[in-house]
Structure 1
Amino acid sequence: MCGIAGAVGTPDTNNEVKRMLAALGHRGPDVCGTYLAEGLSIGNTLLKITGDMPQPLAGKGALVLNGEIFNFRELAAEKGIKTESDTEVLFTLIETRIKEGDSPINAVFSALSRVNGDYALAYILDGELVLARDPVGVKPLFYFVKRNTKKPEIIFASEKKAFSSQKDDIKPFPPGSIKSFNIRSGAVKEKSLEIKLPQKRLTQEREAVSLLKAALERAVEIRLTKTAGIAFSGGIDSVFLAALAKNIDPSIPLYAVGLPNSHDLAQAERAAEAIGLTASLKIRFLSPGEIEAAIPDVIYSTESIDPMKISIGLPLYFVAKAAKEEGKRVLLTGQGADELFGGYSRHESFLEEGPEVLDSEIYSDLRKISTINLERDDMVTMANSVELRVPFLDREVIRTGLAIHPELKVLKRDNLYIRKYILRKAAEGMLPPELLWKEKKAIQYGTGVQKVLDRFAREAGFSKREGNHIERYLKQVATDQGFDFIIR
Structure 2
Amino acid sequence: HQWRYGADAEQEDSAFSNCLVLPFGQVTLDSRDNDDSAKPDAPEPDYQLTDLARFQPIDLFQPYIDGFKLALMESIRVRVESIPERGNGVPRVGILFSGGVDCITIAALLAQILPAGEPVELFNVAFENPRQTKHVQQGASNIYDVPDRKTGISGWLELCNRIDTQRDWRFVEVDVPYGQVLEHQAHIRRLLVPSDTVMDMSIGMALWFASRGVGSLVMRVDNELERQEYQGGARVLLLGMGADEQLGGYSRHRSAWDHGGASQLGQEIRLDVQRIATRNLGRDDRVVSDNSKEARYPFLAANVVRFLAAVPLHRKMDMRYSRGIGEKLLLRLLAHQLGLAQSSMLAKRAIQFGARTAKMESGRTKGQDCL
TM-score between both structures, scaled by the size of structure 2? 0.69
Q: Which structure is richer in relative contact order (CA contacts within 8 A, separation 6 or more)?
A: 2
Pairing of 1:408-447 with structure 2 (within 5 A): 408-413=315-320, 418-447=326-355
Measured after TM superposition, the shift of residue 410 of structure 1 is 2.3
Q: Which residue, out of 206, 209, 213, partners 1:318?
A: 209
Indicate yes or no: 2:292 matched with 1:385.
Answer: yes
Pairing of 1:8-407 with structure 2 (within 5 A): 190-194=18-22, 195-197=24-26, 203=33, 204-224=60-80, 225=83, 226=85, 227-249=92-114, 250=117, 251-259=119-127, 260-276=144-160, 279-303=169-193, 304-322=195-213, 325-352=231-258, 353-407=260-314
Pairing of 1:436-475 with structure 2 (within 5 A): 436-454=344-362, 464=364, 474=371
Which shows bigger deviation, 252-261 or 329-338?
252-261
Contact preservation (8 Å) 1:272, 1:278: no
Please state whether the residue corresponding to 1:367 is helix, strand or coil: helix
Superposed CA offset, 1:200-235 (max 9, x none):
978341111110011011111111135321110111
Matching residue's letter, 1:271: G
Q: Could you say if the C-alpha distance between residues 414 and 379 of structure 1 is closer, same or farther in structure 2, counting changes exceeding 3 Å?
A: closer
Q: Could you say if the C-alpha distance between residues 383 and 176 of structure 1 is closer, same or farther in structure 2, counting changes exceeding 3 Å?
A: farther
Measured after TM superposition, the shift of residue 378 of structure 1 is 0.6
RMSD: 3.0
In the alignment, structure 1 segments of 5+ residues that lack a partner are 1-130, 132-173, 178-186, 456-463, 475-488
Q: Quick one: percent identity of the two aligned structures? A: 28
CA distance in 2, matches of 1:326, 1:253: 7
In the alignment, structure 2 segments of 5+ residues that lack a partner are 6-14, 34-59, 86-91, 128-143, 161-166, 215-229
Measured after TM superposition, the shift of residue 383 of structure 1 is 1.3
Kindly indicate which of the two structures has a greater share of residues assigned to strand. 1
Contact preservation (8 Å) 1:340, 1:366: yes
- Paired residues, number: 283
Q: Could you say if the C-alpha distance between residues 198 and 270 of structure 1 is closer, same or farther in structure 2, counting changes exceeding 3 Å?
A: closer
Matching residue's letter, 2:251: S
CA distance in 2, matches of 1:188, 1:405: 30
Superposed CA offset, 1:51-77 (max 9, x none):
xxxxxxxxxxxxxxxxxxxxxxxxxxx
1:486 corresponding residue in structure 2 = none
Superposed CA offset, 1:399-448 (max 9, x none):
11111111122214467761000111122222432211111421111112
Contact preservation (8 Å) 1:228, 1:331: yes
Please state whether the residue corresponding to 2:151 is helix, strand or coil: helix
Please state whether the residue corresponding to 2:70 is helix, strand or coil: helix
Higher Rg: 1
Measured after TM superposition, the shift of residue 453 of structure 1 is 4.3
Measured after TM superposition, the shift of residue 307 of structure 1 is 0.5
Matching residue's letter, 1:190: N
Measured after TM superposition, the shift of residue 198 of structure 1 is 6.7
Q: Could you say if the C-alpha distance between residues 415 and 339 of structure 1 is closer, same or farther in structure 2, counting changes exceeding 3 Å?
A: closer
CA distance in 1, matches of 2:254, 2:368: 29
Contact preservation (8 Å) 2:68, 2:308: yes
Measured after TM superposition, the shift of residue 452 of structure 1 is 2.4
CA distance in 1, matches of 2:292, 2:175: 21
Measured after TM superposition, the shift of residue 337 of structure 1 is 0.1
CA distance in 1, matches of 2:315, 2:201: 33
